[in-house]
C-alpha cells in the first residue's frame, strides 16, 4: 500500500509560457542518475541559471502548485521531468493542456496534473503573480480546483485517480488479471511467440539472405 | 454506416485487448518491448524491490544508444558509463537480449529493431522513448512510455490504456521530386501545430505515403510525437512485405504465409470512420526548415523568418518572440541567408541508409565549407557497414565531414556530441527545443539533402542551389 492521495493545498507559482517541453523541465544531461530522486537542483536546469527566473525568487520557495500554460510537458517521455517537479516540492501542475506521456507519468507518480480552460488558468496565473501566498486546492476526490475566488471542476483518468485515492500499486492491480494475460498469450500466433522467431540474429545473416 | 467497419488503428488495438470493462481503460498486450539505458534503470530497480521478475524476457530487446560516444568505443563519462553498466547487469540478470557498444548489431533502438526484422505489422510496440512512434511505419501500434510504464510492461507485458481518438492524415497529391519524407512531416506539424494531434493516434494515408520506402515511412512516423500524437501508423502493403521478406528467417518459413494473410487484413475498411480527418495538399510542397524552438515553427526553406505579430493569438506571438530571441533571428530574414556552424546528419529520424545515400549524392565531388563542422552518424553499425560497402564513408570523408560510430549522438545533449556555446546547427534530428543540442545551441531541423547542401554552402541551402 502507498499513502492514499486525495487532496493538496499549497501556494501557487505561475510559469507563463506555452509548450514547455520536458527538455526544459529537465535537460537531458541531468537525466543520468540511476535513481528516481536527486533532481531538485536540475529542475528547469537551463532557465534556473537566469537570476530573474521565477523559481529563483525567494518568495516562491514554498510553492507547491505550478500554474503553467498550453501543452505543458510536451516532447520526450523522460519521467525525470515528473521526478524533478516532485523533488523541488511540486504536488500539482495546472495547465490548459499537457503532453500525453507527461500527463500519464505525472499521475503515476502522484503529481496532480490538472487541465482547466484557458481563462481559468490565466486567472489563476494572474493571482499567483500578484500574491506569492495565493493558495490553490486540488481535490482529486471531488475533482475540483478551489481558491478563495471560486471552484472549478476537472477530469482525471479514471484508473489513475482510483489508484491514487486508494493508495494502490498499478502493477499489483494488473497482476490480478494474470489469468487473462496467460489466456491471451495462448492465443497469440506462432510467429509472434518470440521476437527472435522469424527474425535474424545478425546483420550478416540478413545480408546473406538478401544475396540469395 | 455499419459499425463493423473499422480503421487500422481500431483493428490493431482490438486485437490486443486482454481485458476490458465499461468505463475502464483497456488492458493491452505488448508484443515487443524495446529498452535502452537511459529510461530503464529505475524500472528494473522497482521490479527488484517488489521481488518481481520480467514476465517475457523473450519479447524484449535492449540497446545501448543514448549515452554512447560516436568517436570512440570508450565511454569516458562516469554517469553515462554507470547507466550502460546497469543495463548490462539488468539484462544479464533477467535474460534479455542486449546489443552492446562494440557489437555489430548495436545502434539506435528505433533503427536496429526494424532493420533486423523484429518489428512487424499489427504488433504493439513500446519503449521508454517518445520516438517509438517510428515503428508505426510497419502498421504497428507503437508508442513511447515513461519509466513507470516500462516497469509495468516488464512485470506484466501489458499496459492499461485509454483508447486514443483516431485521426486520418491524408497527404493529397504527389509532392515534387525535391521534397523528402522529412519535409512531409515538418509541413504537417507546421499545419496542425506541435500539439495539434494531442490525444490521437494517426493513420497516414494517400499516394504520397504509399510511394515512400520503409525508411521514408519511418521518418514520417518518427516525428508523429512532435505533432502531439503518441502513435502514427501506415497500413502494410507490398513495400512493407518486401522489406520484411528480406528479413524473415527461412527457419520460420512455415509461418510466413499465415503472417502475410493477417498483415493483408490490416487496412482501414472502406467507409470506416475517424474522429478527425486532416488533409494536406502536397502537390506544391517545398523543402521545409524550422526557424523556432518547437518543431511546429517551420516554413518553406525559400521563405523568411515570420514576424511575431503575424501570429493569431497573443500566446503564439509571445512564443514566437521568445523563440526568435533564443534563436538570434530577426523577422523577415530569408532562411537561405542564415549562416550555420554545424551540420548533424543522423538520429532515429534520418540516420538510415537511404538518408546517408541521399546526403552522399549531394556531397559527392564537393567540399564541406571551411566554416562548417559536419558529423555523419549512422543510425546503426549495420547502416555504417552497409554505407562503407557502398563507399559512402569515402564520400563524406573526402568532403571533409566526420564519419562516426552509431548512437543518438547530437540529437540530444546527453552524450559527448554536444554543442558548446552559441552555435547554429542544421540538424536532421527531430527536436529544435531550447538547449536540446547544447545549452545555447540554435537548431534548424532539416532533411538529409538540405543538411548536405547547407554543409557545402555554409548557410541554409537546398541541393538545387549547388
Dump pLDDT digits (tens) for B64-108. Answer: 999 998 999 888 899 999 999 999 999 999 999 999 999 999 999
Q: How far is A195 from chain B (nearest CA, A)?
A: 5
What is the per-residue pLDDT for A212? 54
Give the minimum alpha-carbon distance from B8 to chain A in angstroms, rounded to a whole number. Answer: 19
Looking at residue A3, its pLDDT comes to 86
Q: What is the mean pLDDT of residues B194-220?
A: 97
Q: Which of B58, B199, B247 sits opposite A195 (nearest CB)?
A: B58
**B431 vs B433: CA distance, rounded Å:** 6
Measured distance CA(B326)–CA(B224) in Å, rounded: 25
Dist CA B275 CA B167 (whole Å): 6
Note whether B129 and B33 are within 8 A (CB): no
Which residue, among A141, A138, A43, has the nearest Cα to A93 in the 3D structure?
A138
Other beta carbons less than 10 A from residue B74's beta carbon: 8
- Nearest-angstrom CA–CA distance, A37 and B344: 33
Confidence band, pLDDT 50/70/90 cuts, at residue B183: very high
- How wide is the angle at C-alpha B361 spanned by C-alphas B357 and B364, nearest 5°? 125
Q: Are A68 and A115 in contact (CB under 8 A)?
A: no
Beta bridge partners of B373: B342
Contacts of A34 in chain B (CB under 8 A): 41-42, 45, 82-83, 86
For position A161, what pLDDT does the model report?
A: 97
Give the pLDDT score at A200.
53
Whether chain A has a CB inside 8 Å of the CB on B260: the answer is: no
Q: Tell if the CB–CB gap between B259 and A104 is shorter than 8 Å.
A: no
**Residue A70, helix vs strand vs coil:** coil
| Residue of chain A whose Cα is closest to the Cα of B132 | A77
Q: Which residues of B touch A181 (CB under 8 A)?
A: 18, 27, 29, 55, 156-158
Cβ of B1 under 8 Å from any chain A Cβ?
A: no
Percent of chain B with pLDDT over 70: 99
Query: In degrees, to the nearest 5, what angle opens at C-alpha A171 toward C-alphas A168 and A172?
Result: 60
* Average pLDDT score over chain B: 96
* pLDDT at residue B2, rounded to an integer: 47
- Residue A203: pLDDT over 70: no
pLDDT confidence tier of residue B251, bands split at 50, 70 and 90? confident
* pLDDT surpasses 50 at B421: yes
pLDDT band at A208 (very low <50, low <70, confident <90, very high): low
Q: How many angstroms from the chain centroid is the CA of residue B39? A: 17
Q: Is the pLDDT of residue B208 over 90?
A: yes
Phi, psi angle pair for A10, to nearest 5°: -165, 170
Question: Which pLDDT does position A2 carry in this prediction?
Answer: 78
Mean pLDDT in residue range A174-186 = 97
Q: Dmax of chain A from CA atoms?
A: 75
Q: Which residue of B has its CA nearest to A102?
A: B146
- ipTM of model: 0.95
**Coil vs helix vs strand at B463:** helix
pLDDT value of residue A1 = 61
With a CB cutoff of 8 Å and minimum separation 6, the contacts of B338 are: B329, B424, B444, B459, B460
Minimal C-alpha gap between B208 and chain A (Å): 26
A59 or A192, which is more confident? A59
Per-residue pLDDT tens for B252-278? 888 899 999 999 999 999 999 999 999
Write out chain A residues lying below 8 Å of B439, CB-based.
27, 46
Residue A93 has a pLDDT of 98
Would you call B319 and A76 a contact, using CB atoms and an 8 Å cutoff?
no
Tally of helices (H runs) and strands (E runs) in chain A: 8, 7
Q: Is the pLDDT of residue B1 over 70?
A: no
How many Å lie between the alpha carbon of B464 and the closest alpha carbon of chain A?
33
> Is B283 in the A-facing interface, judged by CB distances under 8 Å?
no
Work out the burial of residue B79: count CB atoms within 10 Å of its CB; fewer than 13 is exposed, 13-18 middle, 19 or more buried. Answer: middle
Confidence of residue A209 (pLDDT cuts 50, 70, 90): low
Q: Is B361 on the interface with A (CB under 8 A)?
A: no
Q: Looking at chain A, which residue has its C-alpha nearest residue B250?
A: A198
* pLDDT greater than 70 at residue A198: no
Question: Which residues of chain B make contact with A35, given a CB cutoff of 8 A?
Answer: 42, 45
Q: What is the pLDDT of residues A50-107, one digit of tens each?
A: 999 999 999 999 999 999 999 999 999 999 999 999 999 999 999 999 999 999 999 9
Q: Give whole-number Cα distances, A11 to A8, A20, A154, in Å.
A: 10, 21, 19
For residues A63 and B452, the answer to whether their CB atoms sit within 8 Å is: no
| Residue A34 to residue B82, Cβ atoms within 8 A | yes
Q: Which of B61, B83, B385 sits opposite A203 (nearest CB)?
A: B385
Amino acid at each position: 500500500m502507498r499513502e492514499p492521495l486525495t487532496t493538496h493545498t499549497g501556494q501557487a507559482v505561475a510559469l507563463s509560457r506555452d509548450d514547455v517541453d520536458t527538455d526544459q523541465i529537465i535537460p537531458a544531461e541531468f537525466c543520468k542518475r540511476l535513481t528516481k530522486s536527486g533532481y531538485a537542483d536540475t529542475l528547469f536546469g537551463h532557465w534556473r541559471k537566469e537570476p530573474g527566473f521565477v523559481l529563483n525568487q525567494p518568495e516562491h520557495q514554498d510553492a507547491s502548485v505550478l500554474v503553467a500554460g498550453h501543452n505543458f510537458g510536451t516532447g520526450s517521455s523522460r519521467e525525470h521531468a515528473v521526478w524533478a517537479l516532485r523533488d523541488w516540492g511540486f504536488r500539482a501542475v495546472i495547465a490548459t493542456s499537457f503532453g500525453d506521456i507527461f500527463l500519464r507519468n505525472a499521475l503515476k507518480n502522484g503529481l496532480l496534473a490538472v487541465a482547466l480552460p484557458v481563462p481559468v488558468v490565466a486567472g489563476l496565473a494572474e493571482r499567483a503573480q500578484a500574491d506569492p501566498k495565493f493558495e490553490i486546492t486540488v481535490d482529486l476526490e471531488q475533482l475540483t480546483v478551489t481558491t478563495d475566488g471560486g471552484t472549478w471542476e476537472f477530469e482525471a483518468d479514471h484508473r489513475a485517480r482510483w489508484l491514487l485515492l486508494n493508495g494502490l500499486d498499478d502493477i499489483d492491480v494488473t497482476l490480478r488479471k494474470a489469468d487473462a494475460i496467460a489466456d491471451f498469450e495462448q492465443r497469440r500466433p506462432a510467429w509472434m511467440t518470440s521476437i527472435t522467431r522469424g527474425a535474424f540474429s545478425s546483420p550478416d545473416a540478413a545480408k546473406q539472405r538478401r544475396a540469395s | 454506416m455499419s459499425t463493423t467497419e473499422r480503421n487500422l488503428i481500431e483493428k490493431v488495438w482490438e486485437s490486443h485487448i486482454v481485458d476490458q470493462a465499461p468505463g475502464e481503460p483497456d488492458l493491452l498486450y505488448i508484443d515487443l518491448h524495446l529498452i535502452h539505458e537511459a529510461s530503464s534503470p529505475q524500472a528494473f530497480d522497482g521490479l527488484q524491490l517488489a521481488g518481481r521478475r520480467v514476465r517475457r524476457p523473450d519479447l524484449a530487446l535492449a540497446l545501448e544508444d543514448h549515452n554512447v560516444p560516436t568517436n570512440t568505443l570508450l565511454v569516458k563519462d562516469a554517469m553515462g558509463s554507470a547507466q550502460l553498466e546497469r543495463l548490462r547487469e539488468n539484462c544479464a540478470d533477467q535474460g534479455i537480449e542486449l546489443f552492446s557498444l562494440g557489437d555489430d548489431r548495436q545502434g539506435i533502438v528505433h533503427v536496429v529493431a526494424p532493420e533486423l526484422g523484429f518489428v512487424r505489422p499489427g504488433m504493439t510496440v513500446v519503449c521508454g522513448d517518445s520516438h517509438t512512434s517510428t515503428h508505426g511505419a510497419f502498421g504497428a501500434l507503437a508508442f513511447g512510455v515513461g519509466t513507470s510504464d516500462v516497469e509495468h510492461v516488464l512485470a506484466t507485458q501489458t499496459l492499461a490504456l485509454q483508447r486514443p481518438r483516431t485521426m486520418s492524415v491524408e497527404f493529397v497529391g504527389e509532392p515534387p521530386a525535391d521534397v523528402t519524407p522529412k519535409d512531409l512531416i515538418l509541413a504537417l506539424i507546421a499545419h496542425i501545430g506541435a500539439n495539434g494531434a494531442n490525444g490521437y493516434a494517426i493513420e497516414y494515408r494517400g499516394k504520397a505515403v504509399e510511394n515512400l520506402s520503409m525508411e521514408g515511412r519511418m521518418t514520417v512516423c518518427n516525428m508523429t510525437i512532435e505533432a502531439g500524437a503518441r502513435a502514427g501508423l501506415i497500413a502494410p502493403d507490398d513495400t512493407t512485405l518486401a522489406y520484411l521478406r528480406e528479413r524473415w528467417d527461412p527457419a520460420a518459413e512455415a509461418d510466413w504465409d499465415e503472417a502475410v494473410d493477417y498483415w493483408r487484413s490490416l487496412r482501414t475498411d472502406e467507409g470506416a470512420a475517424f474522429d478527425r480527418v486532416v488533409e494536406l495538399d502536397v502537390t506544391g510542397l517545398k523543402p521545409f526548415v524550422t526557424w523556432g524552438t518547437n518543431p511546429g515553427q517551420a516554413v518553406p526553406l525559400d521563405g523568411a523568418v515570420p514576424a511575431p505579430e503575424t501570429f493569431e493569438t497573443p500566446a503564439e506571438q509571445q512564443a514566437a518572440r521568445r523563440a526568435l530571441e533564443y534563436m538570434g533571428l530577426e523577422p523577415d530574414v530569408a532562411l537561405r541567408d542564415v549562416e550555420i556552424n554545424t551540420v548533424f546528419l543522423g538520429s532515429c529520424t534520418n540516420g538510415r541508409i537511404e538518408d546517408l545515400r541521399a546526403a552522399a549524392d549531394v556531397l559527392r565531388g564537393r567540399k564541406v565549407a571551411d566554416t562548417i563542422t559536419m558529423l555523419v552518424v549512422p543510425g546503426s553499425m549495420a547502416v555504417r557497414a552497409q554505407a562503407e560497402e557502398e563507399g559512402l564513408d569515402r564520400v563524406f570523408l573526402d568532403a571533409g565531414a566526420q564519419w562516426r560510430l552509431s548512437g543518438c549522438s547530437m540529437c540530444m545533449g546527453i552524450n559527448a556530441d554536444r554543442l558548446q556555446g552559441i552555435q547554429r546547427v542544421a540538424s536532421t534530428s527531430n527536436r529544435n527545443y531550447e538547449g536540446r543540442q547544447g545549452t545555447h545551441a540554435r537548431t534548424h531541423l532539416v532533411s538529409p539533402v538540405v543538411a548536405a547542401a547547407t554543409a557545402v554552402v555554409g548557410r541554409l541551402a537546398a541541393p538545387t542551389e549547388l
